[in-house]
Amino acid sequence: MQMFLLKSRREREKIIVQTMINLYCAGNHANKTELCEVCADLANYAEKRLLSCMYGDIKPVCKKCPVHCYSPQKREQMREVMRWSGPRMLQKKPFYAMVHFIDNLFAPKPIGKLVRRKSK
């Protein structure tokens, strides 16, 4: 728990997003023990986007980002995961849910519109 809090906000976000995808996949797809191909692909994509975020460590909340580097299809997939897993995080991972809420509350506002990255 302490180690988790010592990580950067981006690192924490990476772990929380992966947790939300895990929850979603376990609740909606056949295989309960490991991620299905679609969710594994989304998890991989989200991690890459996060690690190469053009805002770096002053990244805003993705939902409020004016650039939004996700492809429309992946953005919709992620929205669905967030919609489903968001309320369940409170029950299953309350600590992560609380940290995520606070991190989002204090996330920097996006600085203008930076050059858009090409997304696949």
- Give the residues lining the site for Zn ion (CB under 5 A): 25, 29, 36, 39
With contact defined as beta carbons under 8 Å apart, do 16 and 99 qualify?
yes
CB of 6 to ligand SF4, least distance (A): 22
Q: Which residues make up the interface to ligand SF4 (CB under 6 A)? A: 49-50, 53-55, 59-60, 62, 65, 67-70
Alpha-carbon distance 9 to 37, whole Å? 27
**Which residue sits closest to ligand SF4, CB atoms considered?**
65
CB of 26 to Zn ion, least distance (A): 8
Count H helices, E strands: the chain? 5, 0
Alpha-carbon distance 27 to 21, whole Å? 10
CB of 78 to ligand SF4, least distance (A): 9
